[in-house]
Amino acid sequence: MKIRRLSERTINHIAAGEVIERPASAVKELVENAIDAGAKTIDVVMSDGGRTLISVTDDGCGMTAEELELAVERHATSKLREDDLTHITTMGFRGEALPSIASVARFSLISRAEGSEEAWRIDIEGGRKSPPVPAALNRGTRVEVRDLFFATPARLKFLKTERTEFSYALDVIKRLAMAHPQISFTLYDGARRAFQVSAQQPDLEDSLENNPADSRLRRLSAILGSEFADNALPLDVTREDVRLTGYAGLPTYNRGNAQHQYLFVNGRPVKDKLLTGAVRGAYMDFLARDRHPVLALFLDMPPELVDVNVHPAKAEVRFRDSGLVRGLIVGSLKHALAEAGHRASTTVASSALGALTPEGASLSAHSGRYQGQYGTRHLSSPAPPPQGMSDQAQAFYQPLGMPAAAGPLPGPSQQMLLDRESRDFAPPVGRTDAGGISGQGGGSPDLPEQDYAQYPLGAARGQLHETYIVAQTRDGIVIVDQHAAHERLVYEKMKAHMAENGVARQALLLPEVVELDPAAADRLCARREELEEMGLVLEPFGEGAVVVRETPALLGEVDIKGLVRDLADDLAELDEALSLKERLEEVCGTMACHGSVRAGRRLTTEEMNALLRQMEATPHSGQCNHGRPTYVELKLADVEKLFGRR
């Protein structure tokens, strides 16, 4: 078979297959063009999920008749200066979007250049272009794409339902709107307005400091909901020439998937494995594996430090120094979470109040307005205490902080560490002889009224069902799950101990040889020092193999080959040894659970206040090791509204 040159029509169809995967892809390219044109208002209209019509109108700089003809030619663009691919500051730069869309649809482009007295229009149908003609348009540009993929009908068979395709486009618009709060966006589904956000003007103080944080938070709240602003931790960290800003949600404000994690690089929405792995690594200590944080992170760096010319869709990027970026994200998130202290999300209180209101409506903890109940299971109240009388009797006589009716732990080293941590961290031991609500047992006096203000979690006033501590604050009440709270305190103590003294290791009597592919073995050996800090000692053993000589003592008997292969996969996919960290933390979490005060254990007022004070002094005490809240705070005003007193 002889080599021949492809026709221009076939070339355009191939390019369209790479760039325009579905209607949302066309929307993304057209809206990005509008952003690059300096638009302040962008309106998008879609019909039939984008199959029959996609219209994008903006008030940008516009184009002349001559520029219109060039704009629909392949690899023609005004955004790439002097053919320099290392200094890209615009959303687009390839010059492929418009001709790719026009080759598979009925395409119309109307534009009026800034300062021009007339607008011009050019039409393309299935790649056949007509000359520009005068048209009517006040300013900017309007692009109309009709009958998408009519020239390639096979592609239509791969599209999903109208609602699904529209949801993909909506997600695209939301991500671009987050990155550009100075632009107003509107999306119509036919005649129905499905999404709208107004341009956010920076406050005067923000303008003087060149810090649009407040306007960005207002835009994020408009898209993600007002609850996000109440539960978001601000980030603003600079390392070398890389700056990380944005907002990260509290661990107790989480979701069941990672779709609510938004990452941007120089104003460009991206989906990068390195960034995703960094977020997972930062939150892994606070969330169960099936829960994911809500956040929006913005990386700003010199264009030459990031390569956006990786994929035609421009959704992936490559960093020159990936270690710097990963370390910046992980360190910044962990610092912000530590600064949050014992704080828990406000949605916990909203969910609790919602459960008390009739017909599933919830009462906002801030505004007092009824709204739909926040129905995620992970924010529901903790499970009731065990009903077994023998277990409760044994828990009653156990010293506080020691395991009650707990099964055997995996190994003697774990038991020794557990005993030490529980003994060092337990509040004063005592008991009450009260019934379902205990409060002043053991002769411990209550805190005086004037002391409420100095304690964020208030003063203990009683205990419900030997499981929940009730405390009174200056303007409300706090209900604490005593087991979940003490579990977190013990866990943090164990973490601090390991950070100070290192992870105990045990030498293998017979070193284990693990065979891998050469690339995986090289990745592991390159991170030997990091793995050794976590208790895993390995070294190269010929080509494509490593030998393991020591393992973390906490793990006891472990499948070494499985662990090493998992670590190699983590390094390949996420550039971080998450498997070992997660296993260590899982063991520590189990030990902390067994070493914590149990549900059904009666506490004196002194013990309850000691637990509250330790929570206030311990980072992350607002959530247990799985991201569930350890306490619920209810404002007095909201409680009064429940009883019709307000």
- Residue 316 maps to which CATH number? 3.30.230.10
Judgement on whether residues 27 and 141 belong to the same structural domain of the protein: yes
Q: How confident is the model at residue 141 (pLDDT cuts 50, 70, 90)?
A: very high
- Pair type for strands 261-265 and 268-270: antiparallel
Q: Of the candidates 197, 327, 329, 196, which has an alpha carbon nearest to the alpha carbon of residue 263?
A: 329
- In this structure, of 58-72, 365-379, 604-618, the range with the lowest mean pLDDT score is 365-379
Q: Are 233 and 337 in contact (CB under 8 A)?
A: yes
Q: How confident is the model at residue 400 (pLDDT cuts 50, 70, 90)?
A: very low
Q: Does 50 or 313 have the greater pLDDT score? A: 50
Give the pLDDT mean for 217-227: 90
Give the pLDDT mean for 534-552: 89
Give the integer Cα–Cα distance in Å for 68 and 135. Answer: 13
Q: Are 483 and 469 in contact (CB under 8 A)?
A: no
- Residue 76 maps to which CATH number? 3.30.565.10
Share of the chain above pLDDT 90, in %: 25
- Pair type for strands 306-307 and 437-438: unpaired
185-199 in b/e form (b: 16+ CB < 10 A) is bbbbbeeeebbebee
Q: Which of 295, 313, 339 is the last residue of a domain?
A: 339
Residue 293 has pLDDT above 80, yes or no: yes
Scanning 364-427, the segments in alpha helix (DSSP H) are 389-397, 412-425
Which amino acid, residue 354?
A: G
Judgement on whether residues 188 and 235 belong to the same structural domain of the protein: no
Q: What is the pLDDT of residue 291?
A: 82
With respect to residue 344, please indicate whether it lies within any of the assigned structural domains: no
Judgement on whether residues 475 and 591 belong to the same structural domain of the protein: yes
- Pair type for strands 192-197 and 254-255: unpaired
120-130 in b/e form (b: 16+ CB < 10 A) is bbbbbbbbeee
Give the integer Cα–Cα distance in Å for 467 and 484. Answer: 10
Q: Does 188 or 229 have the greater pLDDT score? A: 188
With respect to residue 353, please indicate whether it lies within any of the assigned structural domains: no
Give the C-alpha distances (Å, rounded to integers) separating 325 from 247, 328, 332, 467.
17, 5, 11, 44
**Both tokens of residue 390?**
């023998």
Judgement on whether residues 314 and 410 belong to the same structural domain of the protein: no
Q: Does 282 or 173 have the greater pLDDT score? A: 173
Residue 328 has pLDDT above 50, yes or no: yes
Q: Are 182 and 215 in contact (CB under 8 A)?
A: yes
With respect to residue 223, please indicate whether it lies within any of the assigned structural domains: no
With respect to residue 221, please indicate whether it lies within any of the assigned structural domains: no
Scanning 408-517, the segments in alpha helix (DSSP H) are 412-425, 482-501
With respect to residue 389, please indicate whether it lies within any of the assigned structural domains: no
Q: State the Cα torsion 314-329-579-291 to the nearest 10°.
A: -80
Judgement on whether residues 564 and 419 belong to the same structural domain of the protein: yes
Give the integer Cα–Cα distance in Å for 406 and 402. Answer: 9
To which residue do tokens 């962008």 refer? 42
Q: Does 85 or 641 have the greater pLDDT score? A: 641
Give every CB contact of residue 40 below 8 A, 6+ residues apart in sequence: 59, 182, 183, 184, 199
Highest mean pLDDT among 50-59, 262-271, 477-486, 581-590: 50-59
Give the pLDDT mean for 29-48: 93
* Mean pLDDT value across the chain: 77
Q: What is the pLDDT of residue 418?
A: 40
With respect to residue 361, please indicate whether it lies within any of the assigned structural domains: no
**Both tokens of residue 17?**
């297959």
- Residue 457 maps to which CATH number? 3.30.1370.100
Residue 242's DSSP bridge partners are 239
Q: Which of 274, 307, 339 is the last residue of a domain?
A: 339
- In this structure, of 45-54, 349-358, 423-432, the range with the lowest mean pLDDT score is 423-432
pLDDT tens by residue, 156-165: 888 899 999 9
Give the pLDDT mean for 391-414: 38
Judgement on whether residues 251 and 191 belong to the same structural domain of the protein: no
Residue 385 has pLDDT above 50, yes or no: no
**Both tokens of residue 65?**
């008749």
Give the pLDDT mean for 194-210: 68
With respect to residue 212, please indicate whether it lies within any of the assigned structural domains: no
Q: Which of 179, 197, 215 is the last residue of a domain?
A: 197
Q: What is the pLDDT of residue 112?
A: 94
Q: Does 22 or 596 have the greater pLDDT score? A: 22
Q: What is the pLDDT of residue 542?
A: 86
Give the integer Cα–Cα distance in Å for 480 and 154. Answer: 59
Give the integer Cα–Cα distance in Å for 635 and 646. Answer: 13
Phi and psi torsions of 474, nearest 5°: -65, -35
Judgement on whether residues 123 and 49 belong to the same structural domain of the protein: yes
Q: What is the pLDDT of residue 440?
A: 44
What is the helix (H) or strand (E) element at residue 537, kind and residue range?
strand 537-540
Q: What is the pLDDT of residue 237?
A: 93
Judgement on whether residues 472 and 583 belong to the same structural domain of the protein: yes
Residue 6 has pLDDT above 80, yes or no: no
Judgement on whether residues 401 and 326 belong to the same structural domain of the protein: no
Q: How confident is the model at residue 312 (pLDDT cuts 50, 70, 90)?
A: low
Give the pLDDT mean for 394-410: 38
Judgement on whether residues 83 and 132 belong to the same structural domain of the protein: yes
Domain count of the fold of the chain = 3
Give every CB contact of residue 78 below 8 A, 6+ residues apart in sequence: 67
Residue 486's DSSP bridge partners are none
Judgement on whether residues 261 and 154 belong to the same structural domain of the protein: no
**Both tokens of residue 339?**
């600064």
Q: Does 25 or 374 have the greater pLDDT score? A: 25
Q: Of the candidates 588, 620, 627, 613, which has an alpha carbon nearest to the alpha carbon of residue 421?
A: 588
Q: How confident is the model at residue 67 (pLDDT cuts 50, 70, 90)?
A: confident
Q: Are 108 and 83 in contact (CB under 8 A)?
A: no
Judgement on whether residues 249 and 192 belong to the same structural domain of the protein: no
With respect to residue 236, please indicate whether it lies within any of the assigned structural domains: yes
Can you give the residue range of the structural domain that contains 95? Answer: 8-197
pLDDT tens by residue, 620-633: 788 877 667 888 88
Q: What is the pLDDT of residue 369?
A: 36
Q: Does 507 or 406 have the greater pLDDT score? A: 507
- Hey, is 469 helix, strand or coil? strand
Which regions of 133-271 does DSSP assign to beta strands (E)?
Answer: 133-135, 140-146, 184-189, 192-197, 232-239, 242-249, 254-255, 261-265, 268-270
